[in-house]
Structure 1
Amino acid sequence: MDLIQFEQWVLKEFGINLSAYKSNQLHRRILSLMSRVGVNTVDEYIALLKKDPNQRQKFLDFITINVTEFFRNPEIFDDLKGKLQSELLPYNKNLKIWSAACSIGAEPYSIAMILDSISPMSRHTILATDIDSTILEKAKKGEYVYSEVKNAKKEYMDKYFKIIGDKYIIDSKIKNMVTFKKHDLILEKYENNFDLIVCRNVVIYFNQDVKNEIYKKFSSSLKKGGLLFVGATESIYNYRDFGFEKASTFIYKKL
């Protein structure tokens, strides 16, 4: 069995469309993972994934790129905070936000902290979605280790975290601002009327056709004047094709 057939098996077994990923990069990742677990063929690997729940989860984590932290690229989050204050909050006190491919919840919780600090009396709603239901369970718990929270400013650490042993436990007020839900960016419909969509360090792994389709759907899901916040390596060069203008380097505004 070759890697194309493996992709078909993964789609059937996990509902993950690997053909959307950049194929050379993806195949290197799969072969690397097979090598790490000591299997030589795709058939052997499938047999392992069928019988070993731990290896299934390792595969899902590896493929769905669950690498994240609070306030990743802190200076870019400062920029977002400024845009929330100047572009969105003057016109709408209760924002509707989507954190797409949210992984362990660090990004939606980071945004909840910013919003609570700059507009504490508002009732913002944050939808946080990911394809991986196991990682969503971790996100709902709101328990982190130092390496995941190390970028958070002292004012946020003091106000929004409780430290128990080596765990950093997020405040219930912040947890209650975020609703987690399983969602596939490639295969499922998107909700509408968002003021802000955050999708960082995920689309970079997809091929150009899939990227374009996702950006088009993000644009449709945003209100006029809404913002799209992307990762530090994800400039959208053809942003005008999707009805955006640049609000800053990694933030785009729907016209």
Structure 2
Amino acid sequence: MPAGSDQTTAEDEDFLRFVGLIRSSTRIDLSQYKEAQMRRRLTTLRHKHGYATFEAYWKALSGSGALMDEFLDRMTINVSEFWRNPSRWDVLASRFLPELLAESPRLRCWSAACSTGEEPYTLAVLLNEAGALSRSQIDATDLDRTVLAKAAQGTYPARSVKDVPKKMLDSYFEGSGDSYAIRKDIREKISFRQHNLLDDAFGGPYDLIICRNVMIYFTEEAKSGLYRRFAEALRPGGILFVGSTEQIFSPGDYGLESADTFFYRRSYA
């Protein structure tokens, strides 16, 4: 047997046991994330705290709320900005929101894996500009309670608002310089709650689901299951808005059809 192979096997088994313990205690299934990427991220995290094995890390993790919060923060990639990929938000505002509002005067919207809230707040601003926020519902969910708490506060550093059009920045945010806060009346229109995309039931039917820059971290099998469930959670004609690196190949396999770049419509048939 080649030198080092026993060590490799032991490390694999150590990680697999950790995956099983996390699944049984938190309902988070790490096996549905891309293994090399997730394993590398968590190995860096346990080394940071001086744990030689995942078994040792698990023992510490299970007894420390602070370590568990850090673990959740590390495994859920919390990178978000207002108006991220502005041209796509322009398409949503100019084309899809008017189309959806023509069919459903009261929109039901879901921002899935919303991180610190920039995307649902962007949507709220666009709906307000369309005169439809007061008769719309926006659910915003994430696995990580820590980022949800930040989202509910609605306060952001300057880098998060760099793509916000100046008119919107002046109208919907308070503050300047290093810190900006979303207006209270806008903040109160978002319903934030914890939700595990890979395990919890989806609500619906929704007119619009936004899930951007998250699917790239899942296995192909997990992604297929999520696309199918997103389609089922949309009403016929409803729209799924995904990230700029998340093109859905063969959307028809999930009951979806391409509506524009990174927009997919649930089939009417």
Q: Distance in 2 between matches of 1:211 and 1:106?
A: 23
1:230 and 1:176 map into 2 onto residues whose CA distance is 25
Q: Report the CA distance between 1:98 and its aligned residue.
A: 0.5
The residue number in structure 2 matching 1:208 is 220
- Quick check: 46-55 or 75-84, which moved more? 46-55
1:39 positional shift: 2.8
Which residue of the other structure, out of 91, 95, 101, is the alignment partner of 1:79? 91
Partners of 1:93 and 1:122 within 8 A in 2: no
Which is further off, 108-117 or 156-165?
156-165
| Aligned-partner SS, 2:193 | strand
Q: Which residue of 2 aligns with 1:174?
A: 186
Distance 1:6 1:20 in 2: 14
Tell me the CA shift for residue 190 of structure 1.
Answer: 0.8
* 2:31 maps to 1:23: no
TM-score (norm 2): 0.89
CA distance in structure 1 between the partners assigned to 2:254 and 2:132 by the alignment: 33
Partner of 1:220: 232
How is 1:225-240 mapped onto 2 (pairs within 5 angstroms)? Answer: 225-240=237-252
* 1:157-206 C-alpha deviation (Å, 9 max, x unpaired): 11111117732111112112210111111111111210000001111111
- Aligned counterpart, 1:32: 44
% identical aligned pairs: 40
Aligned letter for 1:246? Answer: S
Matching residue within 160, 163, 168 for 1:156: 168
Shift of 1:121: 6.7
**Greater C-alpha Rg:** 2
Q: Which is further off, 225-234 or 10-19?
A: 10-19
RMSD of aligned residue pairs (Cα, Å): 1.7
Does the CA contact (< 8 Å) of 2:138 and 2:189 recur in 1?
A: yes
1:132, CA displacement in angstroms? 1.2
> 2:199 aligns to what?
187
The alpha-carbon deviation at position 102 of structure 1 amounts to 0.7
Q: C-alpha distance in 2, partners of 1:180/1:193?
A: 18
The reply on whether 1:110 has 2:136 as its aligned counterpart is no
Give the secondary-structure state (helix, strand or coil) at the position aligned to 1:9: helix
Distance 1:71 1:164 in 2: 18
Quote the Cα distance in structure 1 between the aligned partners of 2:133 and 2:41: 46
Partner of 1:55: 67
The residue identity in structure 2 corresponding to 1:145 is P
Task: Flag structure 2 segments of 5+ consecutive residues without an equivalent.
Answer: 1-12
Q: 1:49-81 CA distances to partner (integer Å, 9 max, x unpaired)?
A: 244443322221110111111111111111221
Q: Does 1:136 align with 2:158?
A: no
Letter in 2 for 1:191: G
Contact residue 235 and residue 266 of structure 2 kept, 8 A: yes
Match of 1:65 in 2: 77
Whether the 8 Å CA contact 1:128–1:181 is kept in 2: the answer is yes
Q: Evaluate the alpha carbon distance shift between residue 214 and residue 121 of structure 1 in structure 2; reply closer, same or farther with a 3 A threshold.
A: closer
Which runs of 5 or more residues in structure 1 are unaligned? none
Deviation at 1:43?
Answer: 2.5
Aligned length: 255
Query: Who is 2:4 aligned against?
Result: none
Contact kept? 2:251, 2:257, Cα under 8 Å: yes
Aligned-residue offset at 1:147 = 1.6
Q: Is the CA contact 2:156–2:179 (under 8 Å) kept in the aligned structure 1?
A: yes
Q: TM-score, normalised by structure 1?
A: 0.94
